[in-house]
A and B are shown apart, each in its own frame.
Chain A
Amino acid sequence: MNIATNVSLPAQGSDALGIEKLPTDFYVCENHYRSELENVFSKCWLMVGRETDLAKSGDFFTYKIDALSVSIIVVRGKDGIIRAFRNACTHRGTKIVTEERGRLRGGMICPYHGWAFGLDGDLLNVPDEETFGCLDKDNEGLHTVSLDKWGGFIFINLDPHPQWSLKEYLAPLGEDLIKYVGDEQWTWSFGWKSRVKSNWKSPVDAQVEGYHITYGHRRTISRNVTAETTRPYINPGSIGVPGGHHLFRPEKLGEQTPIGLLAARYGATSLYAEPEKEFAANNFDQLAFSQHPRWILDGYLLFPNTVLFVQKGQLFIQRTLPLSPHECLWEVDFYHSEKPQKFGEKFNHEQGRIQIRDVLSEDLKIVEGIQENYRSGAIKEMNLSRQEVIIRAYYHSIRQFVEEGSSR
């Protein structure tokens, strides 16, 4: 796709989902929270890792959802197939692995009594097997968890029979993005984690609307990205990807710092400056808007808890997990297509990551304040503009799950 330089930007959101106020109780209500755990986190596809991190047979990582006391092992089998299991021994429930990642030799041995499972989950050996009155080893394999892959990322679903295949779920993202994001060029380069005193949905809200950028980020990013240059859209009918947005630079860039300008010579990690050197990135040119001279990135809400930002040579992923209605685990992770070879590139990475960190720190401070005001009952309803239409779409998706759950 080739987009002419003078192409007009897409619309600045829409009223298609209505204009009424929305209640704020779904950020604070205990019952609603429990229903989300049961009906959203237990039914939806969740991004848990990357295929290339499980290069060899026996490579594994674990994924935890503390609010549900869920622990999962994702492991590549001898047959090359990646599978997910409950991290729970079928003898009496011991956690089989405690590390967050590693390589298993041959199989998995439970640390309590030594039951041995294959990388495919089958129960292979039980010490003193004859002392069990009746034990059907064939039916005592590790409990499987639904797993599928998209664009090189591994997703799990706690529902043994997910309502949608992952392919259907993420269909709006399209084939070109799968090719781009799925390329083996991507390597994890850094990330942060934090415990944030807000509902798990609020950091998502902050990454899917651009309305706040102009003022909320006036001390950081708004010189080069503004509400006006963020173009959100919704995907009506899609559960997995309720909406997304395109980010463009304004026609005229704001003032740059000397350090920002220096860093921009060596790479494109910062949103501040127009980079002089771009990253090489495979399969990039097919992406919509990638040829637009002012395009910075595309953002996608992957329901329920992930926001994926796609740039040239950089992927940026924010995930949240609930800890309570009022607290969440927040994580961001960066992937890059090129490894820095020279100091200048490292300098560019460092500058870019610090700028983004300071931008995110503004978002996190805001959402913690919001939580208190919803919790105290000071604000019972929120007003949403057209530019915040994805939050409306997000709200409707959450409601749909919670209501379907309560009518079951």
Chain B
Amino acid sequence: MIDLSEQALSVVEIHATAWGLPTSAERVAKRVCSTMDEISNFYDAMLPHMEEILDYLNQFSLDTIPDNVKPIAWTALAMCEVDNPVRWKSVTLSSGFDVLGMVPKSSFYDSSFVA
């Protein structure tokens, strides 16, 4: 087991408080309510360490990632959420439907709405 370098660890730790959220739904909500500056800061700080972070996390089997490591995994996943905003230079797309209106389903059969 190779540990994360101190640099990488300190960067993730700084950003895990804000971005290390357990579910996709929480991460998209976080993205949508962030400013472009917050998103860019997060992205720019994390990007140089992403390869290392993924290599580190890949040492575990997905089901047994230890609890104290999980926030690192969630923070890495949040990078997927901010990838497009960084490219667009915009938190959301004016040409897009409200992504929060696309509600995650719990199964194929989870079709109903509380209007």
Residues of A at under 8 Å CB distance from B?
Answer: 49-50, 53, 61-64, 100-101, 188, 190-196, 219-220, 257-260, 262-263, 266, 321, 329, 331, 333, 340-347, 350-351, 353-355, 357-358, 360-366, 368
Pick the contact of B102 from A257, A340, A361 — CB < 8 Å?
A: A361
Interface centre among A61, A259, A344, by most chain B C-beta atoms within 10 angstroms, is A259
In the complex, the answer to whether A64 meets B58 with C-beta atoms within 8 Å is no
Closest 6 CB pairs of A and B: A364-B97, A343-B57, A191-B105, A361-B96, A192-B102, A361-B97
Given contacts A258-B47, A346-B62, contact A351 B83 (CB under 8 A): yes
- Contact among B93, B96, B112 for A100, CB-based, below 8 A: B112
B76 on interface, CB distance cutoff 8 Å: yes
Indicate whether B66 reaches chain A with its CB closer than 8 angstroms: no
Determine the chain A residues whose CB is within 8 A of the CB of B110 once the complex forms.
100, 191, 193
- B73 in complex: contacting residue of A53, A220, A343, A360, CB < 8 Å: A343
Q: Give bound CA distance, A195 to B102, whole Å.
A: 8
Beta-carbon contact of B76 and A195 below 8 Å: no
Which residues of B line the A interface, CB within 8 A?
A: 24, 28, 47, 50-51, 54, 57-58, 60-62, 65, 73, 76-77, 79-81, 83-84, 86-88, 93, 95-99, 101-105, 107-113, 115
Task: Say whether A191 contacts B108, CB under 8 Å.
Answer: yes
CA distance A329 to B101 in the complex (A): 12
Cβ of A325 to closest chain B Cβ, rounded Å: 18
Q: Which of A101, A262, A361 contacts B50 (CB 8 A)?
A: A262
Known: A49-B108, A347-B77, A357-B99. A341 touches B62 (CB 8 A): yes
Other-chain contact of B103, A53, A192, A364 (Cβ < 8 Å): A192
Report whether B105 and A219 are in contact in the complex, using a CB–CB cutoff of 8 Å.
no
**When the two chains form their complex, are residues B95 and A362 in contact, meaning their CB atoms are under 8 A apart?**
yes
Nearest-Cβ distance from residue A331 to partner chain B, whole angstroms = 6
**Pairwise interchain contact A340-B62, C-beta atoms closer than 8 A:** yes
Chain B contacts for A344, CB-based, 8 A = 54, 57-58
18 contacts between A and B (CB under 8 A): A53-B107, A100-B109, A193-B102, A194-B101, A195-B101, A196-B97, A219-B84, A219-B93, A259-B47, A262-B50, A263-B80, A340-B62, A343-B60, A343-B73, A350-B77, A364-B97, A365-B96, A366-B95
Could you tell me if B62 and A193 are in contact, using CB atoms closer than 8 angstroms?
Answer: no
Q: How far is the CA of A346 from the CA of B53 in the complex (A)?
A: 13
> Which residues of B lie under 8 Å from residue A358 when comparing CB positions?
84, 93, 96, 99
Chain B positions within 8 Å of A263 at CB level: 80
Q: B108: which of A53, A346, A368 is its contact (CB, 8 Å)?
A: A53
Inter-chain contacts of A220 with B (CB < 8 A): 84
User: Distance in Å from the Cβ of A339 to the closest Cβ of chain B?
Assistant: 9
Question: B109: which A residues are within 8 A, CB to CB?
Answer: 49, 53, 61-63, 100-101
Min C-beta distance of A269 to chain B, whole Å: 11
Could you say which of B77, B80, B104, B110 has the most chain A C-beta atoms within 10 Å of its C-beta? B80
When the two chains form their complex, are residues B54 and A262 in contact, meaning their CB atoms are under 8 A apart? yes
Taking a contact as CB atoms under 8 Å apart, the answer to whether B97 and A333 are in contact is no
CB pair A350–B113 under 8 Å, yes or no, is no
Given the contacts A342-B62, A343-B65, A351 and B80 also touching, CB distance less than 8 Å: yes
Please indicate the chain A residues that have their CB under 8 angstroms from the CB of B57 in the complex: 342-344
CB distance from B91 to the nearest CB of A (A): 12
| Residue numbers in B under 8 Å from A260 (CB-CB) | 83
Contact between chains at A257 and B81 (CB < 8 Å): no
| Contact with B24, one of A53, A350, A360 (Cβ below 8 angstroms) | A350
Query: Which single residue of chain A is at the shortest CB-CB distance from B92?
Result: A361
B81 contacts A354, C-beta separation under 8 Å:
yes
Which partner residue on chain B sits nearest A359 by CB separation?
A: B96
| CB-CB nearest in chain B for A348 | B80
Q: How far is the CB of B88 from chain A (nearest CB, A)?
A: 6
